[in-house]
Every structure is written in structure tokens, then in C-alpha cells.
Amino acid sequence: MARVDKEGDLRRDMAEMKGEMLQTVRQSGRRPRFALGCGIVALVVLVLSLFAAAWAFAATGLANVPVLTSVAYHRPEPAHPVAATVTLDLFVSDFLNRVLTARLQQGGGTLNDRSISIDLPEGSFTASLRAALKSNAQTAIDPDRSQVAVDEQGLELYLPLADNPRGSAVTLRLRMETGQDGLTVRVSDLHVGSLPFPDFVTQAVLAPAVQSSFAGFAKELARYATITSVSYAPGAVTLKGDLTVEVLKLK
């Protein structure tokens, strides 16, 4: 009986070992297939990421990317051509001098009517933009071809890149608004070539610089008038408000 029991135990042990070996072989057979699947997914993700990056770069027009540039990039054009006239500060200064002189003459030395309405032409915006670009001694943007066009939606800034054979440009839109902080400007729709940038990038990177540049004009205007409304028409931005200057009467 002892011999029979030992043979039975041996058969059970062999069967268990065989089962464990088969299970190990099955598991080891799954691992390479699983690893291969993960590798293929990672490769696809990498290829798609590289393609997306190449497409985005081609869309900017900063350089020629074979095949992609002809599909992803379209040369940006301004809304319409704008000729530079006098800068905004000269235009506003001349306007205020003429209005104050006329009103004081009408009131016999008293400023009875303080309401104002001033149309800021796109030519003056363009002149101020070009002057600012030239004074900064920057070389990335061509100041002589830069311009500001005005339509019913606001202002379009067209900033062509210097020495770019594909004619790429930076374009963005501005809206002047009134609020508790006085006259401010909102930036949107930033593009480099044909590549649009997300709004959070525009607000984080570009908006502070644009607002800082605009703050000087708004502060200077606030010395003479409080602006209560802003409206837009093709070619000009209309500001309405009230004069705040005090007129001294000479005895």
C-alpha cells in the first residue's frame, strides 16, 4: 500500500508541476504581446505629435517645411490698405485745442458745453504704431508695412515679419472699452501666419505688453476728458465723453 500511495503522490506532484509550467508559459506568452501593443501605441502617439508640431510650424510661415507649408500656410493679408497720417497724440491735441477755442469763444470765456465726440482715424493709429515700432529698435517686424485697420468689430493690427520670403505676418484684434479703470484695450485673435493661438496664450503673453503700451495714450487723454463710450465704424473709432479741463478766468 505504501508503494501505491507514493506513486499516487508522485503523479499528483507531476500533474501540479505540469500545470504550473503551462500557466507560466501562457503568462510569458502574453507579456511580449502586451509590451508590443504598448510600443505600437507609443510610436503612433510620437508620430502624431511630431506631425502636429511640423504642421503648426509650417502654418506660421516662419520657414519652409516640404509638402506641409503649401497646405498649412496661407499668406495673411490686411483687411484693407491704410495710409499713415499724423500720430494719435498730435491728432487728439489738435482736436482738443480747436474744440476748446471754439467753445470758449461761444461761451464768452466760459466752457458751457463740455461734451465731446472725437473720431480717431485708422491713419493715426497706423502712424502711432509705426512710430512705436521704429523707436523700439526691433528688427522682427517691418514697421513701414505695419498698419491698423478699423471696422465695426474693432481694430486689426497687421504686423508683417521682416525679411520673410513667404510674407508671413502677426495679426491680432483690439477693442477699446470703457469701465471703472477708464479707457482700456482688449486683445484677441492672435495669429502668426495661418496659425491661431489659444486665447489663454494671447492673454498671458501678449495682452500685458499691448495694454502697457496703450496705457500711456489713455492716461494722457484722461487729463483732458472722461470717456464714457466707444463705438466703431469703418475707418475710425469714435470716443464720446466730457471735458474735464478747468478754465481760468483772467480778471
Please state the φ and ψ torsions of residue 213, each to the nearest 5 degrees. -65, -35
Task: Give percent of the chain with pLDDT exceeding 70.
Answer: 83
pLDDT tens by residue, 110-152: 888 999 999 999 999 999 999 999 998 889 999 999 999 999 9
| Pairwise CA distance, residues 90 & 223, whole Å | 15
R_g of the chain computed on alpha carbons: 35
| Pairwise CA distance, residues 8 & 118, whole Å | 108
pLDDT tens by residue, 146-169: 999 999 999 999 999 999 999 999
Give this prediction's pTM.
0.81
156, β-bridge pairs: 149, 173
In this prediction, residue 1 carries a pLDDT of 47
In this prediction, residue 3 carries a pLDDT of 47
Please state the φ and ψ torsions of residue 175, each to the nearest 5 degrees. -135, 125
176, three cell numbers: 477699446
| Pairwise CA distance, residues 64 & 42, whole Å | 28
Task: Give percent of the chain with pLDDT exceeding 90.
Answer: 59
In this prediction, residue 200 carries a pLDDT of 93
Average pLDDT of the chain is 86
User: Residue 8 above 60 pLDDT?
Assistant: no
In this prediction, residue 249 carries a pLDDT of 61
| Pairwise CA distance, residues 148 & 23, whole Å | 74
| Pairwise CA distance, residues 145 & 83, whole Å | 10
Residue listed under C-alpha cell 507560466: 24
User: Residue 65 above 70 pLDDT?
Assistant: yes
In this prediction, residue 134 carries a pLDDT of 93
In this prediction, residue 2 carries a pLDDT of 46
pLDDT tens by residue, 24-54: 545 554 555 656 667 787 877 788 888 889 9
Greatest extent of the chain over all pairs of C-alpha atoms, in Å = 141
In this prediction, residue 216 carries a pLDDT of 87
Q: What is the separation, in whole angstroms, between the first and last Cα of the chain?
A: 141
In this prediction, residue 17 carries a pLDDT of 56
3-state secondary structure string, the chain? CHHHHHHHHHHHHHHHHHHHHHHHHHHHHHHHHHHHHHHHHHHHHHHHHHHHHHHHHHHHCCCCCCCHHHHHCCCCCCCCCCCCCCCHHHHHHHHHHHHHHHHHHHCCCCCCCCEEEEEEEHHHHHHHHHHHHHHCCCCCECHHHCEEEEECCEEEEEEEECCCCCCCEEEEEEEEEEECCEEEEEEEEEEECCEECCHHHHHHHHHHHHHHHHHHHHHHHHCCEEEEEEEEECCEEEEEEEECCCCCCCC
